[in-house]
């Protein structure tokens, strides 16, 4: 079945460090890919998306490129801030009857000053 | 504008009781989803409503769980005879038309605790 695999956390970085959170997927069709973020005490928010191969999603300094050949959608940021501390979820949506989101297990990021 | 609204934000109840959770989607969004977020299982899809079509109930974990959507807007998720393993955060999301390339907009969730 369709699935998403994320690197396990927590990931602990110093401020201004480079961030990569790995995400790979398995899908029978042609999925759309998403990164959602959950800040402490808040709900899930869309961070970025990509809907076809080689698309790059970007927002708030974060980027991810839809790589069909490696079935990956890794999240990157060149210089993290303390305010980026949150849980990040990779997700896919593939057409069956509902386009429901299938989530990875989430990766907690902690950025230290 | 107003986002997805869920109520109550927290619910504590005794094992065996029934609970109802409410979701008010973004106005004009025809697609509505329920998910469950728990420590052991992560984020799981429960049920999907799209317009007047039959709902996709494939994610409901047991027949104790049911949901309805009245008038194409507000939805209620009902859990009968609650069990301790039902403790989780229940999230509602909506999207404009349910297409796969649309992001889903999430509410803040209802935290359900079963004693």
- Residue-wise pLDDT tens digits, B80-95: 999 999 999 999 999 9
* Cβ proximity of A1 and A96 under 8 Å: no
Label the pairing between strands B31-38 and B42-50. antiparallel
CA-CA distances (angstroms) from residue A46 to A4, A49, B64, B84, B106?
Answer: 17, 8, 31, 30, 9
Which of A13, A31, A2, A22 lies closest to A84, judged by CA?
A13
- Please report the pLDDT score of residue B104 as a whole number: 93
- CB–CB contact A103 B43 (8 Å): yes
- Please report the pLDDT score of residue A96 as a whole number: 59
Confidence of residue B1 (pLDDT cuts 50, 70, 90): low
Confidence of residue A35 (pLDDT cuts 50, 70, 90): very high
Reported as a single tens digit per residue, the pLDDT across B16-68 is: 999 999 999 999 999 999 999 998 778 999 999 998 888 999 999 999 999 99
A41 inside 8 A of chain B by CB: no
For residue A44, what is the nearest residue in chain B, using CA coordinates? Answer: B106
Q: Which of B35, B42, B59 is opposite residue A106, by nearest beta carbon?
A: B42
Phi, psi of B4 (to 5 degrees): -75, 130
| Cα B11 to Cα B84: distance, rounded to the nearest angstrom | 13
- CB–CB contact B98 A105 (8 Å): no
- Please report the pLDDT score of residue B3 as a whole number: 93
How many percent of chain A have pLDDT more than 70? 96
Q: What is the distance in angstroms between the Cα of B16 and the nearest Cα belonging to chain A?
A: 28
- Please report the pLDDT score of residue A102 as a whole number: 93
Q: B43: which chain A residues are within 8 Å (Cβ-Cβ)?
A: 89, 91, 101, 103, 106
Q: What is the distance in angstroms between the Cα of B103 and the nearest Cα belonging to chain A?
A: 7
Confidence of residue A97 (pLDDT cuts 50, 70, 90): low
- Per-residue pLDDT averaged across B86-112, rounded? 92
pLDDT higher than 90, residue A55: yes
């Amino acid at each position: 079945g369709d699935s998403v695999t994320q690197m396990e956390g927590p990931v602990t970085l110093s401020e201004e460090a480079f961030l990569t959170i790995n995400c790979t997927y398995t899908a029978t069709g042609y999925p759309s890919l998403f990164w959602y973020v959950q800040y402490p005490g808040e709900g899930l928010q869309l961070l970025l998306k990509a809907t076809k191969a080689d698309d790059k999603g970007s927002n708030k300094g974060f980027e991810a490129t839809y790589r069909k050949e490696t079935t990956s959608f890794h999240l990157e940021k060149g210089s993290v801030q303390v305010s980026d501390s949150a849980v990040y979820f990779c997700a896919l949506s593939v057409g069956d009857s509902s386009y429901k989101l299938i989530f990875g297990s989430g990766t907690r990021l902690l950025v230290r000053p | 504008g107003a986002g997805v609204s869920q109520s109550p934000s927290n619910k504590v109840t005794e094992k065996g009781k029934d609970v109802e959770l409410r979701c008010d989607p973004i106005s004009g969004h025809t697609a509505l989803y329920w998910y469950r977020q728990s420590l052991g299982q992560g984020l799981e899809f429960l049920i999907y409503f799209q317009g007047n079509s039959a709902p996709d109930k494939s994610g409901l974990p047991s027949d104790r769980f049911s949901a309805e959507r009245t008038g194409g807007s507000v939805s209620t998720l009902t859990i009968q005879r609650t069990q301790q393993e039902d403790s989780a955060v229940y999230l509602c999301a909506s999207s404009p038309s349910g297409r796969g390339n649309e992001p889903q907009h999430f509410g803040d969730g209802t935290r359900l605790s079963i004693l």
